[in-house]
Amino acid sequence: MAQVSPSPIPNSNVANLMSTLLDRDAYLTGLLNNVVETQHLTSQHWLEEIKQRAANWVRHSILPTNRDEEWRFTDLSKLKQINFHHVKTRLIASVQTKILPEVESRLVFVNGVYAAELSAVSTLPKGILVTNLSDLPEEYTVKIPEYLAQAEGALEVFTALNTAGMQDAAIIWVSKNVIVETPIHLVYLTAGENAISLPRCLVVADTGSQVSFVEEYVTGRIPVPQEGSYFTNAVTEIWISENASVNHTRVQKESCEAFHVGKTAVTQARYSRYTCNAINSGASLGRHNLEILQTGEQTETTLNGLTMIKGEQIADMHSAIALNHPYGVCKQLQKNIVGDKAHAIFNGKVFVPKPAQQTDAVQLNRNLLLSSKARVDTKPQLEITADNVKCAHGATVSQLEDDEIFYLQSRGINENDSRNLLINAFATEIINNIPVTSLRDNLLNEVKQF
């Protein structure tokens, strides 16, 4: 049968059609072009395919607006006013203040690029790999494609942007039955006016293994100068195999002019255990998307969060926990301390479908407002179709009680110290869960100065 050739489309119409399909958001396209042109990774076929697929998705996407339910309370209009670009810099005043004495292994990234001179990977037990993607040993290159950019939610617009412009990545790989006694420290520094940084991390905990690591996001200069805004768009993927355990501490202390959007995607196999202690106190606008996917029965998930903001800061904590199998246990406690005109947002979702019988899930958001102009929007959610579960959720919003302050004053403590004592007691419940003593002490001191 003869084939009929389609009528030719004029070149101008082709150009208009491609523009419509590939460049739906001019700002997002410009941001993509800025980060793609500065990639540093060694060219590998599988990696280039992942990046190209992510870039194509970004070109088909638009930045979220207040019309999107997931971004209803988080306005990105200020972000769109700045033309962010990659800044090549090695000018870091000091990294010494960020060193944790208990930590023997540390990877430091400056504007998303590995800084070997600031890092320190000491002798590690056999069976654990701590390195960056560019220096990945050859025997691991066949394993990485199974995990990198393969987690659920990889096509969310900021996650795809990170993948498309990925310059390097931190890799932690713990082999079967290996137990890592000391925590691993990942430090992400961003420096430079209007700089964009795309930190990436991949953690794989094989069957029966145990590991603890700390992620810290901070400004790259000490003391912090008035150098304008910057944008950190971070993605961490964690794969926990059967009967493995991961303890994850995430600290976001960006400068007061920064924008921070972070994604933590966790995949838990059966009998696995995951703990996240997330502390957020920096950035003008900060958002953390925490997504948990249960792929086997009898998993344990513990999520502890503390947000401390003031001035006109905006902090948005979104979590989505999919408990798809029976006998899962999930405990989530998110606390927010909000002062001045700051705005805290919490949106937590727990999905318990019919196969997830005998699930035990508790979600609680507690908010402490220190000012009459402070604001919080909270929305804990449980979506349950299983009929044999134990689930609860709730939220509280309160201020410092006058009678509590009066009681402390009657014991000889002045009003200011009384307020600080109550704030410290509110925050300590979360901070005390952090397994690194020096970091815990630093954060407690930060609370005292809040």
pLDDT tens string 288-309: 999 999 999 999 999 999 999 9
Answer left, alpha or beta for residue 289, where phi above 0 means left and psi between -120 and 50 means alpha. beta
**Residues whose CB falls within 8 Å of the CB of residue 445, separated by 6 or more in sequence, listed in order:** none
How many Cβ atoms are within 10 Å of 281's Cβ, its own excluded? 21
**End-of-domain residue from the set 263, 296, 329:** 296
Q: Structure pTM?
A: 0.92
Domain-located, residue 157: yes
Last residue of one domain, picked from the residues 296, 329, 351: 296
Which residues have C-beta within 8 Å of that of residue 367, sequence separation ≥ 6?
A: 335, 336, 338, 344, 346, 376, 378, 395, 396, 397, 398
CA-based end-to-end distance of the chain: 78
Which amino acid is present at 270? R
Split at pLDDT 50, 70, 90, the class of 20 is: very low
**448, part of any domain:** yes
**Whole-number Cα distances in Å, 51 to 121, 135, 215:** 28, 18, 24
Question: Is 104 part of any domain?
Answer: yes
- Pair 90, 205 in one domain: yes
Vertex 152 angle, CA 151 and 154, to 5°: 75
Averaged over 347-375, what is the pLDDT? Answer: 97
Q: Is residue 54 in some structural domain?
A: yes
Judge contact between 382 and 363, C-beta under 8 A.
yes
Helix (H, G, I), strand (E, B) or coil at 137: coil
176 within domain boundaries: yes
Question: Is there a single domain that holds both residue 47 and residue 196?
Answer: yes
Q: Would residue 381 count as lying in a domain?
A: no
Tell me what pLDDT residue 187 has: 95
- Domain presence at residue 436: yes
**Are residues 51 and 180 both part of a single domain?**
yes
Q: 199-252, pLDDT tens digit by residue?
A: 999 999 999 999 999 999 998 655 544 457 999 999 999 999 999 999 999 999
Cα 426 off chain centre by: 23
Same domain assignment for residues 92 and 234: yes
Query: Can you tell me the distance from the alpha carbon of 400 to that of 396, in angstroms, rounded to the nearest whole number?
Result: 13
Q: Is 398 exposed, middle or buried (0-12, 13-18, 19+ CB in 10 A)?
A: exposed
Minimal CA–CA distance to 388: which of 362, 357, 413, 365? Answer: 357
Question: Can the peptide bond before residue 223 be classed as cis, meaning omega within 30 degrees of 0?
Answer: yes
In the chain, how many domains are there?
A: 2
* pLDDT mean over 77-104: 78
Last residue of a domain, one of 262, 296, 330: 296
Structure tokens at 409: 């004053």
Residue 368 lies in a domain: no
Q: Which of 71-75, 89-93, 151-155 has the lowest average pLDDT?
A: 89-93
Find the domain containing 146 and state its range.
Answer: 22-296
290 and 406 share one domain: no
pLDDT (mean) for 189-193: 87
Q: β-strands 273-280, 245-253: how paired? A: parallel
Domain co-membership, 287 together with 415: no
